[in-house]
Structure 1
């Protein structure tokens, strides 16, 4: 695993003896960032995870994550391509280079919805208004789904169950 890092120019990094072009930020959390990078040598996409280490405990936790990637060899666990520790003043960053796997884009959502349609059970347990509301939220195309305001308006239109009435029908 490479320990050398070089920020060669704006938008490129060198890690483990190879150069990568930083394309854009994929995700951001409280203590880490994940950027999409492209290998300039192989043209493959990778996820560059940058873990912010504010103190010694964070530094140790980042090193444990690196070690954990090395312990497992399984198709469902991302393998660590390269890693390094970057010193930024008193703080450090752990950089982990992982294969990029796109999971569940909009096209996947539509394809999965077509393959596995969700239906509202047609039982007397649900009122007609609630069945209509649930059905409208389960359309295949995400752009055809009602807005939150429409859903809230429909929910306001549902009548509360009178006191003492059977509540088996929602």
Structure 2
């Protein structure tokens, strides 16, 4: 029933009073640092009240002798993750209509904008961290890796610390190029999320992440992300959507757009698509 995510378990529970279903995430805190991390995750949830960022219904810290568990009660999304939806499409030999891609992607961007507007970055955007409700409303989850958007790296020791942290917390095939080899004097900002967002868009179009196969084959993702992403010639989506993908997945973070620009482009594509009426929000 419970699925293990690092040191956490997620169970489906039913509310006695309201009959609603919830996801109960139990995080095992092995030490004070672990407890602090769980506390931070709780605080990150509490910072947002946005339809595209997963809300926290309630939380508690439960002590078992020396060990502590953090319990986070979260809304249960029946459709599951974006990844599970894409996997089902792939198994059927089907694909996601462009209109649906744009609708879901726009929601993901709105949630990310809310996070960036508060001066934070998510740092682990990927299809398994996007939940979908019945109406295809996407919700960003797993706020445990979030931190301040702007990280100033001063010196090689700090660079290594960030690099090690990224290796643990930022999923390899969705990790931005600048996190593989962190430079000694640089600024890492929220545009690491924009790269990951591009990987998610690619995944919605191709039903697999751009670097999933490279990782599975055991080849170097660090090397692969230095080159512009290649869109397979067989891609059937509009030129506009393909251009959006290419403009998001830019290896140099300085040339990568910010979330407002991406959101503008998505809305522009939505207004240009054939059945405009249904796209009006």
Query: Which is helix-richer, 1 or 2?
Result: 2
Query: Which is strand-richer, 1 or 2?
Result: 1
TM-score (norm 2): 0.30
Q: Which has the larger radius of gyration?
A: 1
TM-score (norm 1): 0.48
